[in-house]
Amino acid sequence: MTVTTRVKLSTMMFLEFFIWGAWFVTMGTYLGKTLGATGVQNGSAYATQSWGAIIAPFIIGLIADRFFSAQKVLGILHLTGAALLYYITTIPNFEGFFPIIFAYMIVYMPTLALVNSVSFKQMSNPSKEFPPIRVFGTLGWIIAGLTIGWLGWEQSNSLVLTFKMAAIASLVLGLLSFTLPATPPAKKGQKTSLGDILGLDSLGLLKNKSYLVFFLASVAICIPLAFYYNFTNPFLNEVGMKAAAGVQSLGQVSEFLFMALMPLFFVRLGVKKMLAVGMIAWVLRYIFFAYGDTGANYWMLIAGIVMHGICYDFFFVTGQIYTDNLAGEKFKSAAQGFITLATYGVGMLIGSYISGPIVDHWKISDTAHNWTTIWLIPAGIAGLVFLVFILFFKDTNQIQTKPGLDIEEPGTGRVEV
């Protein structure tokens, strides 16, 4: 890979996640303070991410994989997204806001797969070349949060500017996309079935009882995950945390650090314990939120944010590796697509629609909620999922481990740690 290509791909990743992090974290606060939205409306707005994840495979499977180069589709989607993000800043109420954010997420979510496709096409050894490029995506999300916190947009009720900032970044990435290396359609001229698009060829994995337990746990754990994404920023702002969006970026810093340490944990813990630690971390995180405050228990709020690395890496990344190991070479792509559809699609969708009414139910005034009770509910859900998983999951297909550097050994479906 040339230096020019590496720089372009790194910039692409940075902008891809800067755009998302620029508005997604603080949208709940914007909806409540600026548009006067309820908790149910807030949950509905965040549910558009899940609908986008459900619809995304059709855009990729029916368009990008068969007819047009990935970098051109990426450019068109981001230019369209830039227009939608800018237009949304002119809308004064939730009723007008919702259909536009829904349309935007349908446009944005497919780009998450497209940036990976463009990157992998240029790599001869993705397991070594992709992480240094993908890390710029995490950096983009962190910089977006720090920028919002530094400029004080939450305290000054100026969060409408986050959408304008994201719109500008989306315009830049849209134009940049047309200069990216050519990534022609992978399945040009081939017939694509509904099963191919949704990854249904991997359904045979569910015959493995332990994988079925893992699969159901993955869907269920995304219900409390939705509470975190949808209401953490409104919660932190309500309890008086300064520059909350910037502080929340510590979660991405933690994610990066734990990602680097995962090979060491794999050797010592194995799959079941890694997954279990990830789930119990969700329980602890919500307990910290339930009893944290900006006084003596401020450390609890910080701990709950920093635990994002364990919550995400130990469960979701481990689960992706576990899925890849069981699926093997033939079905690995289908299996990853299916588990993503089930978690970020179905699981998060359920969580978004459940979380809103719960937050509204425990509202005690126009500006305050009973957050202790609210956060103990997802803690309880995560705890129940953890108990079921521990009782019924038996890791009969252990990931093969041996001394080395890479998480995945290319071309084998085995995991090397």
pLDDT digits (tens, 9 = 90+) for 140-191: 999 999 999 999 999 899 999 999 999 999 999 999 999 998 877 655 555 6
Of 75-79, 167-171, 356-360, 398-402, minimum mean pLDDT range: 398-402
What 8-state DSSP symbol labels residue 206?
A: G
Asked whether residue 190 is domain-assigned, the answer is: no
3-class SS at 45? Answer: helix
Chain-centre distance for alpha carbon 117: 17
On whether both 78 and 179 belong to a single domain, the answer is yes
Express each pLDDT in 263-305 by its tens digit.
788 778 888 888 899 899 999 999 999 999 999 999 999 999 9
Asked whether residue 277 is domain-assigned, the answer is: yes
Asked whether residue 416 is domain-assigned, the answer is: no
Q: What is the pLDDT of residue 301?
A: 96
| Domain of residue 39, CATH code | 1.20.1250.20
Facing residues of 368 across strands? Answer: 365
Asked whether residue 297 is domain-assigned, the answer is: yes
- Can you tell me the distance from the alpha carbon of 46 to that of 63, in angstroms, rounded to the nearest whole number? 26
Chain-centre distance for alpha carbon 155: 26
On whether both 254 and 303 belong to a single domain, the answer is yes
- Can you tell me the distance from the alpha carbon of 362 to that of 376, in angstroms, rounded to the nearest whole number? 12
Cα angle for residues 257, 389, 202 (degrees, 5° grid)? 85
E-strand stretches of 216-310? none
Asked whether residue 303 is domain-assigned, the answer is: yes
Contact between 224 and 351 under an 8 Å Cβ cutoff? The reply is: yes
Total count of domains within the chain: 2
On whether both 165 and 215 belong to a single domain, the answer is no
Q: Which helix (H) or strand (E) holds 363?
A: strand 363-365
Cα angle for residues 344, 85, 33 (degrees, 5° grid)? 80
Q: Tokens 């944990």 belong to which residue?
A: 265
| pLDDT band per the 50, 70, 90 thresholds, residue 75 | very high
Structural domain including 333 reads 198-401
Residues 6+ apart with CB under 8 A from 403: none
**Residue 356: exposure state from Cβ atoms within 10 A (0-12, 13-18, ≥19):** buried
Contact between 28 and 46 under an 8 Å Cβ cutoff? The reply is: yes
- Can you tell me the distance from the alpha carbon of 120 to that of 118, in angstroms, rounded to the nearest whole number? 6
Contact between 115 and 16 under an 8 Å Cβ cutoff? The reply is: yes
On whether both 180 and 211 belong to a single domain, the answer is no
List the one residue out of 108, 121, 267 whose CA is nearest residue 180. Answer: 121
On whether both 3 and 144 belong to a single domain, the answer is yes
Residues 6+ apart with CB under 8 A from 262: 313, 314, 317, 318, 407
